[in-house]
Chain A
Amino acid sequence: MELTFLGIGVLTWITFLPVLGMIIVLMLPKEQGNAIRWTSLAFVTLQLVLAVVIFAKFDRTLTGINSQATMQFVEKATWIDIKSVAWFGRVHIEYLMGIDGLSVAMVLLTALISWVAVISSWTIDKAVKGYFALLLLLDTGMMGVFVALDFFLFYVFWEVMLLPMYFLIGIWGGPRREYAAIKFFLYTLFGSVLMLLVMIALYFSVNVYIDANGTLYSVAEAMKRGTEGLEKIYTFNMLQMMDAGNFIPGSLLAGVNTNWRSLAFIALFVAFAIKIPSFPFHTWLPDAHVEAPTPISVILAGVLLKMGTYGIMRISIPMFPDAMIQYAWWVALLGVISMVYGALVAMAQTDFKKLIAYSSISHMGVVTLGMASMNTQGMTGAVFQMFNHGTITAMLFLIVGVIYDRAHTRGLNEFGGLMNQMPKYAAVMTVAFFAALGLPGLSGFISEAFSLIGAFQTFRTLTIIGAVTIVFTAGYMLWTLQRVFLGPLPDKWKTLTDMDAREMVMLVPLAAIVIFLGIYPSPALNLMNASLNHLAGLLQQAHAGSMLGVY
């Protein structure tokens, strides 16, 4: 499947459109606040349109995951090619992009959430130009992470995302913004370093053959074809790293279930677990969320957290299936702890935004658990939960933003009785809250149910413990609803106005998606089905292989 505009592939467009927007924004005079806003909106809207085109053209039967042939919208070019660097040998890095069922949902989510975030940013008045420029750069970084198929490129996008986020929290954030920004930056950087180490270790453990045109051949393909005219090189190509045959015998990460492979898996897991964030690496999240401005919280919860679980499914599982099988129980355990612990700590919060932040930890724990199930139902639940959490939590943070803009406080105990004062707001919030607590008929239920049902088939006791979370979640969600909306209306809030048109525009589409997918999830599930079946199959093969002592 290929799709190009003006000779450039759709994935390049969807990734770099925001950068184009950023350049235009930077050329506009800084007094032209509205021009900057509308330019940004135009570019993210265009990005969303492309995402819809991708959704329409995406072939639901192709598997992707570890084969380039079944990846879609693939774009490939030689990016860096240095013939010979001392003992390094030839350095050949590809600009390789492509999507499969695993990433397509995330591409859609990123485009959607970025669009919502730009609308939500309309009220930002401080240094508008810098803000929107950074926001657009962040958008490119996020999109790039989900479409990159070369580890080096992936890493570059991963880091590109970090810097704008740091400034967006550190400049436009709340009172303790600098603390939160630095904490976020250092914590994530710590994870990045671990990822970098594993990436380098993989680089020197995997070799492939390259011909004069720059086409890569896996070792098996090269053996079949004959190696004349081919050169043996190291590679960052992720898909080649998933092929056990490409590992150099005797290299650091060769073999099955070796200590080095375990270590690499764990290091990579920690790198991603920080991003999810999974217990016990989660404490940067509440601080970052509380200090970040609303649109940045929306992006943070809506998209950034998904990169952790996406990374595990895109990189850790296909490259280290042996270690994944070995450590699945521990991964599931962290997922369950995050679920229960996140929910319980959320219940004790009195700051509205902090409560939602902890609820994110709990809901992302469901993704971790579903993913660790290693079967189709669980992983489908996990990826669907990633999408649903993106839309639902985006709603929740927008909802906090709406009330904070008006009341300038987020103290849960200061509100009450807003149901009559702000009926539209109450209706939207009721949908979001019930979606978050997993009410059937709304999308969150289906993904949670499949995650748990899948996980139960692999880990019974853990899943039963995890299932108890649905009581706690109902507890803190309804309690929050009660504290904000029910009871008598305090006098000081009698002047609050209901949501305006702009706020409806950002919230109602999300609510519509949540309801639609809650009733009929197939359009989303069909997207990911073939890839996840394939991934589950890979794990099953690896499992069978490790039982037989061969890989």
Chain B
Amino acid sequence: MTMSQEFLLTLSVAILVLPLIGFVLVAFFTKRLPRHGDWLETLLISVALLLSLFVLYHKLYDYPGTTLTLNFTWVDFHNVPGIGPLKIVLGFSVDNLAAIMLVVVTLISTLVHFFSIGYMHGDVRYGRYFAFLGLFSFSMLMIVLANNLFLLYVGWELVGLSSYLLIGHWYEKKSASDAAMKAFITNRVGDVGFFVGIMILFGTFHTFGLQEIFDHLQAGRMPLGSEWWLTAAGVLIFCGAVGKSAQFPLHVWLPDAMEGPTPVSALIHAATMVAAGVYLVARTFPLMTADALLVIAYIGAITAFISATIAIAQNDIKKVLAYSTISQLGYMVLGLGVGAYTAGFFHLVTHAMFKAGLFLGSGSVIHAIHHALHEQHDHHTDPQDIRNMGGLKSKMPITFWTFMVYTLAISGVPLTSGFLSKDSILAGTLAFGSLTGHVLIPFIGFLVAGLTAFYMFRLVILTFLGEHAKPDRLALVHESPKIMTVPLVILATLSLFFFFSFNPLDASRGWVAQSVQRPASVVPAHMAAASPDVFAEAHHHAHTTAMILSLVVAGLGIGIAFLTYHMKKISAETIAQQFAPVHRFLLNKWYFDELYGWFAVGGTLSLTRALRWFDNTIIDGAVTGSGWLTKAMSTISGWFDTWVIDGAVNAIAYLSGFGGLVLRKLQTGKVQTYVVLAVVGVMVLYFVMRVV
């Protein structure tokens, strides 16, 4: 039965709103709801999942080539001088990309909700935790459905908020609240770029709508009138993705974000939110110029490489996974950058399944060890340190076997979903290398594939195989409850090839590849990357080579991992000692945190203190100074007034008084004296006149 477009759109909006309702209800009434409302939030997200599956099915079958759009006027500026009628129209669109993402987000979210019921059992802020999961799901779905830069940005910041709140879930710990803050602020750095990109496009086209912007570009209108700004806009929007998807150089927040509860790491910091950057690039792909895409490709490659090298040296189970996430996100970004659009997005989908699984699996391990240690009153052993693990295979068989499937998938072993998507990206890098001559890109791509296989198997071997590092400590470890293992099994199943393609070696006939095609570029032909046809041809040619090469490097990586950590033929300690500086460099994560701590954080704080001094001393000093000056002037004028002006007046008065005093002596009142004086006077006059 064919569903009407309106109906599917209504359902999509319902999918968006359901978790929001859950958030509001649980946030306000958590104390009054039974079980703090976990069932309510879980129920709503499960309904959202079912609706998403329904929408996806009907979207792909009924409207495979149509974009369903729902727009509304949000703000009306009416008749704006210089522009004319201006309305801010916002809206939601469901195309194949969005429909698939709806399912990915609600699926992982639902599984994480169920898993959390077990994992977070007895937590101090159990209700609040579920409320924020709802807020996150809503915000993430907003990004998925938005058809304009404005709502994208809104969702973008709101996922940042929920990430902040959930990383800082155990905010009594300083490290947790620090990590939350670091995540938010680092993301904001990228967001400045994103926002400037939006300003460039809105400033020229006066719309936030992506399709409208594409139409303007297609018609040859350039942002701010120049082609340079078009590339700039693309790169700036990508800055947002650099922050959110933890790409070099803003990747530093993601490993710290592991301070949050592990299911949160699975949902937000592995499967969905961090992939939003990749989704953003996919959404804005048509306006990316060849230069912008080259930047994107290199950033992806550098990120994949740096984080893979760091992952090798880490000992915290979640840190290893965090760096592997960054590395895999680098792959996706790389895939989009080289033009392997479908492959990049496909990897997002497959990665969401197996990486969420890896995190939930690690959560199952941590949960088990934590409780075992707790029962023995051991509060010193780190439950996340893989050096304290080993031999968990027999104690936690379901966790182990599912973890194994995910590891095979991320390492790119055939029959898994990861093999299909990664292989496709690697073929894309080869094609890109052959088309443009940037051979470093495929080189890094294959190198990282080998590194990934190596560090993932190192993790599995140290955690699950071999002997217990501390047998007595782990004696009480047992398999997690069903509510946690069932999601693991579901995700493991979804990490196999047949969900995505019936051919285990080639995904290009699979439904994802069929329904998500690279969109046509809207930038002027001379600025665009190789056209989809040319690229597809090269991609096809590279496929077999890429497959063989990737199998070789993955095999090498797995082999060396077994030789080193299982059979102990190669001593990791010896190598670490021989290359001590390199090992230290990797262990310390290339010193990015130190560098940023010194320059960005330290520099800003010094600047703020300097400015505070400047404000108090110079600016306010000028104010106080002018006040002081006025007072000084008034004192001087007071003195002048008293001593000079008034002094002159007084002096005249004094002088005339003195004169009077002297002359008074003459006025005696005696006639004889007057006669004598008159005679003397006449005589004086006489002589004076004689002389003259």
Contacts and interface: CB of A to CB of B under 8 A. Distances in A.
A387 interface: no
B158 A441 contact: yes
B608 A348 contact: yes
B77 A377 contact: yes
A34 B615 CA distance: 42
A380 B192 CA distance: 21
Contact of B189 (A439, A456, A471): A471
A452 B189 contact: no
A533 B78 contact: yes
A471 B185 contact: yes
Interface stretch (B194-202, B329-337, B401-409, B487-495): B194-202
Interface in A496-551: 520-522, 525-526, 529-530, 533, 536-537, 540
Contacts, number: 136
A539 B305 CA distance: 54
A538 B216 CA distance: 29
Nearest to A526: B76
B574 interface: no
B81 A536 contact: yes
A257 interface: no
A440 B611 contact: no
A522 B77 contact: no
Contacts of B181: 478-479, 482
B131 to A, nearest CB: 12
> In this complex, which of B74, B174, B195 has the most chain A Cβ atoms within 10 angstroms of its Cβ?
B195
Interface stretch (A69-77, A165-173, A312-320, A462-470): A462-470
Interface stretch (B344-352, B464-472, B619-627): B619-627
B161 A456 contact: no
A439 B161 contact: yes
B171 A533 contact: no
A419 B198 CA distance: 36
Contact of B158 (A349, A375, A440, A467): A440
A23 interface: no
Given A376-B77, A440-B154, A470-B188, A348 B611 contact: yes
A259 interface: no
A187 B191 CA distance: 39
Contacts of A441: 154, 157-158
Contact of A487 (B80, B177, B198): B177
Interface in B175-211: 177-178, 180-181, 184-185, 188-189, 191-192, 195-196, 198-200, 202-203
Nearest to A452: B199
A344 B609 CA distance: 8
15 contacts: A186-B627, A344-B604, A344-B611, A345-B611, A345-B612, A377-B80, A440-B158, A468-B192, A472-B604, A475-B185, A478-B185, A486-B177, A487-B172, A521-B75, A533-B77
Given A456-B200, A482-B181, A486-B174, 20 more contacts: A283-B615, A283-B619, A344-B611, A345-B611, A348-B605, A348-B611, A445-B157, A449-B195, A452-B195, A452-B199, A460-B224, A463-B199, A470-B192, A471-B192, A478-B180, A478-B185, A522-B74, A522-B76, A525-B75, A529-B77
Nearest 5 pairs of A and B residues by beta carbon? A348-B608, A440-B154, A348-B612, A486-B177, A283-B620
Interface of A: 183, 186-187, 279-280, 282-284, 341, 344-345, 347-349, 375-377, 380, 417, 419, 434, 439-441, 445, 449, 452-453, 456-457, 460, 463-464, 467-468, 470-472, 474-475, 478-479, 482, 485-488, 520-522, 525-526, 529-530, 533, 536-537, 540
Interface of B: 74-83, 86, 153-154, 157-158, 161, 164, 168, 171-174, 177-178, 180-181, 184-185, 188-189, 191-192, 195-196, 198-200, 202-203, 224, 604-605, 607-609, 611-612, 615, 619-620, 622-623, 627
